[in-house]
């Protein structure tokens, strides 16, 4: 489980799902006979019968394959933007530095899928999602079939039936109201995208004036 102080806990499912889909290159963590194993992989979401599933694939040679279909839970971590927060931005002190960030953890049993039809459809969906912004999108259908078969033979599908989601959006909610606009303004003056993304998340949570 993740440490979730009430001020930073996000439970709205639409917010959690939007975060997963925006930051879909997740970290899959499992625990088996070899101990903890982690793989950084792209995920897709699917809803069936009112339940949420996370789908992905890993190399068949990856030792994490042995942990699939086990009795234990898998954990998928979707880290979002993060930014250092300087105590010099606060109206009053004393204070210490901290870090603002957003992350969602998804827990549930992970099953192994070796069905070639399922795997082909997953690869196609992944490529359609990520190739859509390219001027000449890559298309699995355009590849020689023997090559496609050899590539599919090298991967194993994963589907996690999500039993619970935990969202931690640590965005200075514990600071006095006068501090938060100062923090947002300081973040927006930076040049990096993460600081701007954190500022945007903070603005979205400020009370309407």
Q: What is the pLDDT of residues 2-11, one digit of tens each?
A: 899 999 999 9
Range of the domain at 57: 6-119+156-204
Whole-number Å distance between alpha carbons of 55 and 111: 10
Read off the CATH number of the domain in which 26 is found.
Answer: 2.30.110.10
> Is 151 within 8 Å of 49 (Cβ atoms)?
no
Provide the 10 A C-beta neighbour count for residue 163: 12
Separation CA 123–CA 150 (nearest Å): 13
Residue 134: inside a domain: no
- Asked, for residue 94, whether it belongs to a domain, the answer is yes
Q: Do residues 156 and 60 touch, judged by C-beta distance below 8 A?
A: yes
Flag whether pLDDT at 1 surpasses 90: no
Element (H, E) at 18: helix 13-22
Q: How many domains does the chain have?
A: 1
Q: Bridge partners of 108?
A: 74
Q: Residue 71 pLDDT > 80, yes or no? A: no
- The 10s digit of each residue's pLDDT in 30-54 is 998 889 999 999 999 999 999 999 9
Single pTM value for the model:
0.94
Question: Structure tokens of 121?
Answer: 């459809």
Looking at the chain, the whole-number percentage of residues with pLDDT higher than 70 is 100
User: Is 147 within the bounds of a domain?
Assistant: no
């Amino acid at each position: 489980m993740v440490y979730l102080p009430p001020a930073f806990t996000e439970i709205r499912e639409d917010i959690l799902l939007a975060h997963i889909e925006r930051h879909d290159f997740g970290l899959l963590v499992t625990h088996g006979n070899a101990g903890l194993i982690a793989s950084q992989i792209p995920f897709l979401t699917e809803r069936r019968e009112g339940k949420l599933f996370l789908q992905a694939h890993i190399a068949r040679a990856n030792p994490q394959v042995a942990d699939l279909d086990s009795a234990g839970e898998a954990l998928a971590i979707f880290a979002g933007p993060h930014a250092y927060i300087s105590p010099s931005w606060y109206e009053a002190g004393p204070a210490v530095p901290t870090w603002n960030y957003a992350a969602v953890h998804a827990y549930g049993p992970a099953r192994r899928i070796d069905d070639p039809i399922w795997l082909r459809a997953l690869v196609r969906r992944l490529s359609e999602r990520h190739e859509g912004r390219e001027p000449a999108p890559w298309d699995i259908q355009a590849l020689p079939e023997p090559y496609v078969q050899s590539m599919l033979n090298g991967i194993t599908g994963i589907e996690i039936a999500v039993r619970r989601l935990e969202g931690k959006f640590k965005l200075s909610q514990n600071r006095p109201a006068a501090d938060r606009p100062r923090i947002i303004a300081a973040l927006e003056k930076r040049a990096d995208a993460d600081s701007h993304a954190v500022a945007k998340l903070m603005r979205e949570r400020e009370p309407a004036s």
